[in-house]
Amino acid sequence: MSTAFNVIATLIAKPGQQAILEPLLRGLLAPTRLEAGCEQYDLHQDLQHPETFYMLERWADDAALAAHDQSAHIQSFRAKAADVIEHFELKRLKFLA
């Protein structure tokens, strides 16, 4: 049985592409927050490295994250952001306390 977990997605814009990436990321917030199993989906920007964005997420289970990964808005984001993202990393975290 799957249990809730947190995710930190790190997205770094290519040089000069931060202003393009930010609104694309903002556009994911509303539709993702409506998804079944999404408990948190918040966008943050690094103050020292403004080209770096973090999505702090909480998912009810693996199936919810898998459905999110296949959603129309994520597929659209990937197509639009492919040329502006330098680095992407996804870390799944187990909540301990």
pLDDT digits (tens, 9 = 90+) for 41-66: 999 999 999 999 999 999 999 999 99
**Domains (ranges, CATH) in the chain?**
5-93 (3.30.70.100)
Report how far residue 29's alpha carbon sits from residue 40's, in angstroms, rounded to the nearest whole number: 10
User: Residue type at 54?
Assistant: Y
Coil/strand/helix, residue 25: helix
45 and 52 in contact (C-beta within 8 Å)?
yes
Number of residues written out for the chain: 97
pLDDT per residue as tens, the chain (97 positions):
568 999 999 999 999 999 999 999 999 999 999 999 999 999 999 999 999 999 999 999 999 999 999 999 999 999 999 999 999 999 999 888 7
Per-residue pLDDT at 35? 98
Q: pTM for the complete prediction?
A: 0.93
